[in-house]
Amino acid sequence: MSSTPLRLARLLWLIRLRWLALAGVAVAASLAVAGLVPGVNGPLVGAAVLLGVVSNLYLTWRARRLGETDDRHVGQALLDTGALSLVLWAAGGAACPFVGFYVFPVLLAALLGGRRALIIAGAASTLGLALQLAVALVPALQVGRWNPRPPFDLLLTVVAVTATVGMAAYFAARLTRELRHQMSARDEADEVLDMAFQGLDAGLEVVEAGQVRWQNAKAAHLFGPRAGTPWICPGRGERPCDQGGPSCRPLSHPCRFGASLERGERIYEAVALLLPAPDRFMTLYLDRTSDILHQRQLMLTERLASLGRTVQGVAHELNTPLATIQTLGRDIVDAAEIGARDGSPDADLAADVRESADVIVAEVQRCRRITHALLGRVEELEGAGRGGEAPLSAAVDRALAVVFTHDRSRAVVQADGGGAVSYPLDPMVQICVNLLQNARDAAPDGVVRIAVAAVGDRIQVRVSDDGPGLSPEARRHLFEPFFTSKPPGRGTGLGLYTSFALARGLGGDLDVSNRPEGGAVATLSLPRARRLSDPSSSPGASA
């Protein structure tokens, strides 16, 4: 009813009616000029006809030239009532039998306008009719009179009555057709909405004044037919409303209801939506089973990933001391075989055996501390207080013994100070072993350089190699867990990640970059006056 083509069609129909009415007025004016209705004021009728012609031409121009519609039915009704009042005033007022035409602006307003247009048109027609009565009763107001010659007086009266009744019937039929069209369109819309709501894969109930007024098939399947019964929130038992009591209000937040997923049943969520009408709301019952299952699967995946990272970290922590134990154990076996073959082991060989045995004992104790930390709090694996403290130079020597057991000549150490500063032994050995292994693997035939220097209030340990350096991709993923540029089976991607975390635990920092002359350099920066930071620091926090 509010589309532009429909409004345009109505306007064109109204314009045609006005041309028909103007034609009738013109015929009446010609009769007056011919002397058949001598009392009619011709100039005043002509002014009314001119007013109607101008307004109709304007409306036609707007409708056909500009493609615009005029929805101002109030103004049109007032214009029609004014033109009719001029014609009837010129014809003698209420004495004219065409005074019944005042009903037509009211019918047009009822057909084309709303309630406001109908009230205004009715008021205007009432005032116009009162004017015509006053004209008929007060001679001073008369500008014309109704005095047609016989038998035209009877003929015009019959025409006036017939036209009034016929046009009223026509408007009534048109109005009835419009109402039927509106009802049919509303029924079709209701049917479409009902089909759409019935086909929803969600329950739907409309609640008014605490009573269920309508429910779709899904809601009836969930709760059974309960239209006309008090609405009860499924998630809150017998409490019919959010606050209880006689005044029912919608849910202030979604509530879930349903049975346990472990029994293969479904879980729903009730969400209330306010409707424009007072004390009415609509409740949707949404199936959230898949969402909850996905959330649980996501949580399980995150837990498994966290467990995997923990296991990988523990394995990485244990691999270094176990490799050391294996290497030194082989050295002891070789020394024992040499002693058995020679019959009298020399002092150097005995000292080497004792040193290897001491390292084995220390590494076994380190493995025990790692497993004890795992049984206690996993976060302690990144702590900085294990294994006692030792000078930095001792940690570097221990790492060199682990990584370059048989070929110490590949490692060049330069100490310009700072080697005597003490740090926790285990994390320092772990950091140095990881950096030395990465440098050795980057250039298997090259030389690894270790430089220890005091720079201001910091102690720096620089490990450089002659390898190809960091690729752009490796630079982007620096310190990211499980990323490795080594071939499959050669690296876990946790070396730099663990070293960064341990360095942060010592209050220091770790950075890896490319050297201008080629290769990469890892720089470990530690404070002289060591201050332990939060052991939960992770590379992702600042890398």
Could you list the beta-strand ranges (E) of 107-250: 203-208, 211-215
- Tally of CA atoms within 13 A in the half-sphere of 500 that contains its CB: 18
Closest CA to 156 of 45, 27, 17, 23: 27
Give residue-wise pLDDT tens across range 449-467: 999 988 888 899 999 998 8
* Nearest-angstrom CA–CA distance, 321 and 486: 21
Q: Taking residues 121-132, report their average pLDDT.
A: 89
Predicted confidence at residue 407, as pLDDT, reads 76
Written as one string, the DSSP assignment of 436-491 is HHHHHHH-TTS-EEEEEEEETTEEEEEEE-SS----HHHHHTTT-TT---SPTTT-
Q: What is the mean pLDDT of residues 97-105?
A: 84
- How far, in Å, CA of 94 to CA of 138, rounded? 11
Residue 75 above 50 pLDDT?
Answer: yes
Model confidence at 488: pLDDT above 70: no
Please give the residue that has the higher pLDDT: either 479 or 159. 159
pLDDT band, very low/low/confident/very high, at 303 (cuts 50, 70, 90): low
Which two tokens mark 297? 């699967």
Higher-confidence residue of 304 and 528: namely 528
Single-letter code of the amino acid located at 249: R
Domain boundaries, the chain: 4-192, 203-287, 297-382, 385-543
| Alpha-carbon span 11 to 279, nearest angstrom | 40
Average pLDDT over residues 474-491: 71
| pLDDT mean over 179-199 | 74
Percent of the chain, pLDDT > 70? 73
Only one residue has tokens 């002693």, namely 339
Of residues 411 and 405, more confidence is placed in 411
Query: Is cis: bond before 424, omega within 30 of 0?
Result: no
423, containing H or E segment: strand 422-424
In b/e form, how buried is each residue of 352-366, taking b as 16+ CB within 10 angstroms?
A: bbeebeebbebbeeb
CATH tag, 385-543: 3.30.565.10
Q: Report the distance separating Cα 54 and Cα 531, nearest Å.
A: 96
Beta-strand pair 448-455/411-415: parallel
Digit-coded pLDDT (tens) for 313-324: 666 666 667 777
- Tokens coding 241: 């409303």
Q: Is the pTM of this model over 0.75?
A: no
pLDDT tens, 229-264? 888 777 655 444 444 333 444 454 456 666 555 555
pLDDT of residue 275: 78
Judge contact between 81 and 128, C-beta under 8 A: yes
Contacts 24+ apart (CB under 8 A), 132-140: 132/85, 132/88, 132/89, 132/93, 132/94, 132/96, 132/99, 133/93, 133/94, 134/93, 135/89, 135/92, 135/93, 135/94, 136/92, 136/93, 136/94, 136/95
Asked which of 14-18, 343-347, 395-399, 431-435 is least confident by mean pLDDT, the reply is 343-347
Angle between helices 425-442 and 495-505 (to 10 degrees): 150
Is the pLDDT reported for residue 192 higher than 80? no
Q: pLDDT band at residue 543, thresholds of 50, 70 and 90?
A: very low
Greatest mean pLDDT range, 128-142, 251-265, 297-311: 128-142
Mean pLDDT is highest, among 127-136, 188-197, 274-283, 531-540, for: 127-136
The 3-state DSSP class for residue 124 equals: helix
